[in-house]
Amino acid sequence: MHQRRVNFDGFKRVDGLWDIEARLVDTKDQDYPLSSGLLKPGEAVHDMSVRVTINNKMTILEAASCSDATPYMGYCNTIPPDYSKVVGLNLFKGFLKAVKEMFGGTRGCAHLSELLMFLPTAALQTIASEVPDNADSEHKPYQLDRCHALVSHSETVQRYYPRWYRNQSPG
Say if residue 168 is in the same domain as residue 95: no
Q: Say yes or no: 9 and 67 in one domain.
A: yes
pLDDT of residue 88: 98
- Whether the pLDDT of residue 169 is over 80: the answer is no
Judgement on whether residues 91 and 21 belong to the same structural domain of the protein: yes
Q: Residues 106, 87: one domain?
A: yes
Domain holding 138, by residue range, is: 134-171
Verify that 107 and 54 share a domain, yes or no: yes
The DSSP annotation for 38-80 comes to EEPTT-EEEEEEEEEEE-TT-BEEEEEEEEEE-TTTTTGGGSG
pLDDT in tens, 64-96: 999 999 999 999 999 999 999 999 999 999 999
Measure the CA–CA gap between 43 and 92, rounded to whole angstroms. 36
Could you tell me if 123 and 138 lie in one domain?
no
Measured CA to CA, the distance from residue 105 to residue 69 in angstroms comes to: 21
Question: Is there a single domain that holds both residue 62 and residue 123?
Answer: yes
The structure's pTM equals: 0.85
Q: Domains in the chain: how many in total?
A: 2
